[in-house]
Amino acid sequence: MNELPTQLLEPEDLLKMPDGDHYELIDGVPVEKHMGAESDEIGLILASLLSRFIREHKLGHAFGPKTGYVCFPSDPKLLRLPDVSFIAKGRLKGDKAPKGHITIAPDLAVEVVSPRDPYVLIETKVKEYRSAGVKLIWIITPETKTVLIRRLDGTCAEVSETGTLSGEDVIPGFACPVAELFV
């Protein structure tokens, strides 16, 4: 890993750094995003299931943990890297993924809780995603094998390992047994 710059950064600066895709940006300060192997695997399983469904039904675009979002109206120096995300068809310019960061809010943002993630960090991210207009947020907790669902309208639900995760009206028709994420 390279030494981090000491001055405040702009989101575009991360694109120029050799390992910039490992960092979120908070108030211009790069903060390394840590993921354990278990969390990374769960995110990959979900991304694979979502991507296959989204492509098959031509619903839009799925992205993994290195896609940066600069979509927070009150904080232009905030960049988040959700573990998995989705943007509906027709929302991206030319309906193509941009070369750099995405400047619109995803329709779905997923965070897989890692061993080093304090609860306050997850709640902060949920608040930020909701302020940007993210319609659906899934927080996957490997330790309890549950998915907490947070919606833009403020409602929430929790799905246990025996339940089914639904794309609701954000990814219509998508359903996944929660247990499938924890294989």
pLDDT at 4: 56
Yes or no: say if 107 and 134 are a contact pair by the CB < 8 Å rule: yes
Backbone angles phi and psi of 90, in degrees to 5:
90, -5
Strands 175-177 and 146-151, by their bridges, are unpaired
Report the distance separating Cα 30 and Cα 118, nearest Å: 18
The string of DSSP codes covering 66-96 is: T--B---TT-TT-BB--SEEEEETTSSGGGS
pLDDT digits (tens, 9 = 90+) for 30-68: 888 878 899 999 999 999 999 999 999 999 999 999 999
Q: For all residues of the chain together, what is the average pLDDT?
A: 93
Full set of structural domains in the chain with CATH: 35-182 (3.90.1570.10)
% of the chain beyond a pLDDT of 70:
97
pTM exceeding the 0.95 threshold for the entire prediction: no
